[in-house]
A = this chain, B = another copy of it.
Amino acid sequence: MPTVELSFTPLPAHVRTARLIASTVGRRVGLDESLVDEVRLAVGEACARAVGVQRSGGQADDVVVAFSDDDGMFTVTVHDWAGAGSEVEMPDLVEATEDLDEAFHPGFGLAVVSGLVDDVEVTSGEPGTVVRMRWPLSSSVSS
């Protein structure tokens, strides 16, 4: 069961709120301070991607972010409802650069996530994509 769950309409401003909550909840469950930055960035990327695919698909449902700590792990999942087919490949960014525009590119953020986070799992299908990230907790301060 998630400890904290956040859902928000797919707007860029709310991605900042999600980031802020990621670092706050992470700290609260005892995440090592050296990982807080990584969590903040990774959750932000996953949420920005979810907001992006839903907006480009005209899908207004709330993006859902769930935070939980179980068995000494801090788990964050980000769900979009953009359906199967919202791209989830992680491009080789160095190769891709020549073609890359500043236009929204959902794979770009996922590449950052997978580069940052050791334990990440991306599942695509109906009703959309789930990005699950996990980090070890050094201590369990509170839950």
A interface residues, Cβ below 8 angstroms from B = 1-9, 11, 13-14, 16-17, 20-21, 24-25, 28, 62, 142-143
List of B residues within 8 angstroms of A14 by Cβ: 3-4
Are A24 and B28 touching (Cβ within 8 A)?
no
Name 16 A/B residue pairs within 8 A (Cβ), A-sorted: A1-B9, A2-B9, A2-B62, A4-B14, A5-B8, A5-B62, A6-B6, A6-B21, A11-B142, A13-B28, A13-B142, A13-B143, A16-B24, A17-B24, A20-B20, A21-B21
**By DSSP majority rule, is chain A's interface helix, strand, loop, or mixed?**
mixed
Contacts A17-B28, A20-B20, A20-B24; is A7 near B5 (CB within 8 Å)? yes
